Amino acid sequence: MNYAVPAVWYKTGVGLIECIPNISEGRRPEVVADLAAAVRNTPAIRLLDVTADASHHRSVLTFAGPPSALSAAVLALVERAVATVDLRTHTGEHPRIGAVDVVPFVPLAGATLDECVSLARDTAALVATRFQIPVYLYEAAATAPHRKNLADVRRGGFEHLATRMQDPAWAPDFGPAHPHPTAGAMAMGARGPLIAFNVNLADTRFEVARAIAGEIRERAGGLPCVKAIPVRLADRGLVQVSMNLTDFHRTSMTAAFDAVERAAARYGAMVLESELIGLVPEAALPADPAVRLRLRGYTRSMVLEERLAQCL
C-alpha cells in the first residue's frame, strides 16, 4: 500500500515502519502519559497517536521510525509498563494476556513485510531476555499455523495463561515457560494495515451487541476480514460492537458500519456513532466520515498520512 510519506524520508534510504502497541492501561492518564513519554523520548522515533479507553482499560500507541529505533522504543515501553501495570488487579472489557499485550509492526515507506517479521523476531528475543516475559509471534511472524490468529493466541486471557502454557502447543516462542507474575505474556508480530473501528449502540442490552458481533465476524460466516466482540461501555450507558478490519479493501468501514446498523435494527436498536482507535489510512475513509459513519470527533489528524506528514 502507498502512503503519502514526505519525500525527505525516502532519501534516507532506511525503511519506515509503523508500530502500534496495545497496553493494558486506560484509566490512569498519568501512567498513559508516562508510557507515551518512553516512546517519544527514543531517538529517531515519531509518536503519531495515543488513544486511551477506560471501559476497554486499554491504550493504543502509534509510532514510526527505522527498525533499530523501533526496537529501542519497544524496550523502553515495556520497561515502563512492567513498572506500572499489574495484571493481577487489572479488569477491563478487552481480552488481554499482557501488560504490553500486543506489538505489531507494519511496513510503510521503503520497508517490506519480511523486514517487519525479522524486526518482530529480533525484538521479541530482546524483550524475553531482558524482562523475562514470554513472547508469542503472530500473523506473518508466526512460527506455527495455530499461532497466526491473535485471538487464538490470547484465548483464555491472563487468568488462564499459566495453565495454557503447560500445553507444549502453547509454549512461547521466546522467554520462560510461565507468565511474568505481573506483566503476563506478549504477542508480537508483523502484519498489513488494520483498522480498529467501533460502532456504539444507543442501547444497554449487552446481548444485542453480542448477537451482532456474532453475526458479522468472519469466523462465524459473516463479513470477510472482520473480527468483532461485544463491549459494555458502562461509563456511558451504552454497548458497543468493537471491530478489527484486517483488510479494508475486502470489507470497508462503510460496509462494516452498514452491517451493524442493519443487524441492530432487527433487534430494535439504533446506532449512535462510530469511533476509531488509533489512525486510519486515507484510502479507507469515505468522502465525509463524520456524516456517513457518524464518526465521533472526526478530524484530519486521525488520518495516518496526515499524521506522518505532520510528524516527519
Task: Give 296's contacts (C-beta < 8 A, 6+ positions apart).
Answer: 200, 273, 274, 275
Query: Which H or E element spans position 64?
Result: strand 58-65
Nearest CA to 238 among 276, 277, 198, 278?
198
Check: CB of residue 18 under 8 Å from CB of residue 52.
no
DSSP one-letter code for 158 = G
Distance CA 286, CA 197 (A): 14
Looking at residue 228, its amino acid is A
Residues taking part in catalysis: 94
Distance CA 281, CA 285 (A): 7
How far from 35 is each of 85, 135, 174, 175, 268, CA to CA, in Å? 10, 20, 23, 23, 41
